[in-house]
Structure 1
Amino acid sequence: MSDARTASPLTVVVAAVTALVVLVCAIAAASMLTGRPDAAATAGATVPSVPDGPAVTAVSRDDAAGRPAPGDEPTEASGTALEIAAAAVTGALGSSTCEDAAADTAALLAAISGLGEAATWIDRGVLDGAVGQPVEVFAERCGSAHASAVVGALGLPAVVSGPLAAYVANGGARSSVDAAAARDELAVGVPANLLVGESASRSVQQFMLPSGNIACAIGGDGARCEIADADFGTDPAGACMGRWGGLVTVGSGPGSPGCLEGWSALGGGTVLRYGESTRAGGFSCASSAEGVACRNDATGHGFWLRSSAFLVF
């Protein structure tokens, strides 16, 4: 007779229930660890919607430094790029020696290449600050003739070359170079022997010419000469009640004619003979049969006075 025992039905049921409980517990534990609710737990539940966040556009990078990869570069110049180009224009014009127009043109062409098409400068607000104002300063420093030669050689379209010509003219109006050119052009008519400067032979401050018709005083802040017998026409301003042009002066600026209402005989009896000259206080005068010429030796401005005419420069 065998001693094996047959399990009772109750024992079998208990074992099955126990195994099922263990299985359910294992599934629940796995669900908690993975964060995923099982289908039974979520069945019939309402899941709230989550609003979309802002869209993000990815930009590819070609290296660890974060530079844009080829093809990602901006299509229009940034403010910084424009500022760099404008600074290049200012630097090119500011470094000019005012003597070589061809070199200045080449430097300016290279600088404006960073500003884009010249025909778009006005619409893009580039012309005034980036080019016009530096050109005006350039014309003031180097003179309008030099600046015009440089700007004209750029070959710019008329839409911008016209405004730039105005900037050149504005700078030239303040330019000491232009003033000197105008002065020298006028002074060409003065006999060279009357522009003496430091080569003056005397240092008297008041004198008369041998003719007795012209008397002068120099030193201090200017030179002044009067002429007793001459008629140079009518005062353009219509204000002179005496002799227009009977008085001419020069100080820190260009020489100028004035109205002589009474002969004062400035010379005080000292005669500056023809061929003699005098200098005092930075001003010089020379006497000749062709009249007298006086000049501010620092600025080059002055006048030439004679019985037939006067000239200021």
Structure 2
Amino acid sequence: MTETRTIRAMVVADVVLVLTFLVLLVLYVAGGSSGDGGDAQVSASPTSSAPAATAGATTGPASFRLPSGNIACAMADEGVTCTIASYSYAQPVVAGCTGTTGHVLVLDADGAAFTCETGPTPQVAGDDVATLEYGSSATAGDYTCTSATDGVTCTNGAGVGFRLARASWTELP
């Protein structure tokens, strides 16, 4: 049983690394030769109830975890992918999925949707992933995620997105 979990954890780590590499590669190729600043603008700042304007932006995709480690997100100009290791809401239905659902939620130009997972269940994010403190936000392109004690809220500039927590998830608006 322990060996199976170890293998699953290694597969998840490999998938995350490959996806991160691919996102970075796409961002590099898309913005590398144009000189138009096509890289994501990422920043973190405290907010009250809505994402605030941020200062001190850095360039590149944002990857973060909430302080609990149960939710981790990766952001880029093209969208947001959040993974939740443990949840208690009803497993969402994904058409045609023969795997599991409920752990990976994506927000992109098509809106918010859960993905079909065929690999092992995601684990709690480690300390090697940057922490987005409660009350802080991160922005990449048109997407903003805000960390709170009751989960993470991610939206695009039009307010379309999701709120994700251990007990529930909600599509916005």
Please indicate the TM-score interval, normalised by the length of the shorter structure. Answer: 0.5 to 0.7
Which of 76, 80, 97 is the matching residue for 1:239?
97
Q: Deviations over 1:16-62 (max 9, x none)?
A: xxxxxxxxxxxxxxxxxxxxxxxxxxxxxxxxxxxxxxxxxxxxxxx
Q: Does 1:213 align with 2:79?
A: no
Distance 1:201 1:259, change over 3 A: farther
2:53 corresponding residue in structure 1: 199
Q: Deviations over 1:179-209 (max 9, x none)?
A: xxxxxxxxxxxxx94541x524675711000
Q: How many residues align?
A: 119
Do the aligned residues in 2 keep the contact of 1:208 with 1:268 (CA within 8 Å)?
A: no
Q: SS of 1:293's equivalent?
A: strand
Selected match of 1:292 from 148, 152, 156: 152
Shift of 1:253: 2.8
1-side partners of 2:126 and 2:116: how far apart? 15
Please say if residues 87 and 166 of structure 2, whose CA atoms lie closer than 8 Å, have aligned partners that are also in contact: yes
**Distance verdict in 2 for CA 1:267–1:249, change over 3 Å:** farther
More strand by share: 2
Match of 1:251 in 2: 108
How far does residue 241 in structure 1 lie from its aligned partner after superposition? 1.8
Within-5 A mapping of 1:42-61: none
**1:220-273 C-alpha deviation (Å, 9 max, x unpaired):** 20011000011433443362422x221111111321222344427499520001
Please state which structure has a larger fraction of its residues in helix: 1
Is the CA contact 1:215–1:267 (under 8 Å) kept in the aligned structure 2?
A: no
Kindly report which structure 2 residues correspond to 1:116-265, keeping only aligned pairs within 5 A, or say none. Answer: 193=48, 195-196=50-51, 199-200=53-54, 203=57, 205-236=62-93, 237=95, 239-242=97-100, 244-260=101-117, 261-262=119-120, 263=122, 265=125
Conserved in 2, the CA contact under 8 Å of 1:279 and 1:285?
Answer: yes
Q: How far apart, in 2, do the equivalents of 1:202 and 1:225 lie?
A: 24
- Structure 1 distance, partners of 2:159, 2:126, is 23
Structure 2 residue runs of 5 or longer lacking an equivalent are 1-46
Larger Rg: 1 or 2? 1
Q: Which structure 1 segments of 5+ residues have no match?
A: 1-191
Instruction: Look up the SS of the partner of 1:273 in the other structure.
Output: coil
The AA in structure 2 aligned to 1:223 is V
| Equivalent residues of 1:219, 1:280 under 8 A apart | yes
Aligned to 1:77: none
Letter in 2 for 1:233: A
Distance in 2 between residues matched to 1:238 and 1:295, nearest whole Å: 26
TM-score of the aligned structures, taking structure 1 as reference length: 0.34
TM-score by length of 2: 0.58
1:276 aligns with 2:136: yes
Check whether the contact 1:217–1:266 (CA below 8 A) recurs between aligned residues: no
> Who is 1:125 aligned against?
none
